[in-house]
Amino acid sequence: MADPIAYDDFAKVELRVAKVLEARPHPNADKLLLLQVDLGEETPRQVVAGIKAHYPPETLVGKNIIVVANLAPAMLRGEASNGMLLAATSGEKVILLTVDDQDCVPGAKIK
């Protein structure tokens, strides 16, 4: 386990529900996917994720996933990433954290 953090540090992380609108392979990377996600904002965001070996892109479209919405933007192999999805690892398996209720609106805060 990692060292404990103060609640104030955790409170800075903004977790939100994001609906995957589009998913496709990254043109310059073997392990990355480019996701267009709806976070309830005016325009979709792009999130770059290293989950290509675990999820075919077409299986992600329509899923409500959990993302860190206030992560500083990063360039990953020439593509902008404006957030980070959350996933669990179980041995070699990667499991996306999702919301079961499809009625949950994009942008809903995780508390």
Counting Cα atoms < 13 Å in the Cβ hemisphere of 55 gives 21
With a cut of 90, say whether residue 22 has pLDDT above it.
Answer: yes
Q: For residue 7, count other CB atoms closer than 10 A to its CB.
A: 6
With a cut of 90, say whether residue 1 has pLDDT above it.
Answer: no
Which whole number is the average pLDDT over 77-104? 93
Identify the structural domains of the chain with CATH numbers, from first to last: 12-96 (2.40.50.140)
How far is the C-alpha of 51 from the C-alpha of 32, rounded, in Å? 6
Confidence of residue 34 (pLDDT cuts 50, 70, 90): very high
* CA angle, 48 then 49 then 53, to 5°: 135
With a cut of 90, say whether residue 102 has pLDDT above it.
Answer: no
The pLDDT score that the predictor gives to residue 19 is 96
Q: How far from chain centre, in Å, is Cα 34?
A: 10
Q: Report residue 38 as tokens.
A: 């709806």
Counting Cα atoms < 13 Å in the Cβ hemisphere of 97 gives 14
What does the pLDDT look like over 35-88, one tens digit per residue? 999 999 999 999 999 999 999 999 999 999 999 999 999 999 999 999 999 999
